[in-house]
Amino acid sequence: MKDCIFCKIAKKEIPSYTVWESETHMAFLTLWPNTDGFTVVIPKAHYGSYIFEQEKNVVDSMMDACAIVAK
């Protein structure tokens, strides 16, 4: 999506402090953390903001990515 900030970060059009990356997901530190080390995990493909409106495989892969980053 053209104006999506997360798509721009995934495409490296906007710099980020990436802490983990795979072919399909990435994780980076937020610029405005409410706690130290607050990390944002995103899919590299564009999806709507509400995760539970997505297909099960999208939700499952996102949860797998979050588990990897959390460890």
Q: What is the pLDDT of residues 11-63, one digit of tens each?
A: 999 999 999 999 999 999 998 899 998 999 999 999 999 999 999 999 999 99
- pLDDT (0 to 100) of residue 20: 98
pLDDT tops 90 at residue 2? no
pTM of the predicted structure, to 2 decimals = 0.89
- pLDDT (0 to 100) of residue 5: 94
Interatomic CA distance for residues 71 and 61, integer angstroms: 16
- pLDDT (0 to 100) of residue 8: 96
Sheet of 39-43, strand order: 18-21, 25-29, 39-43
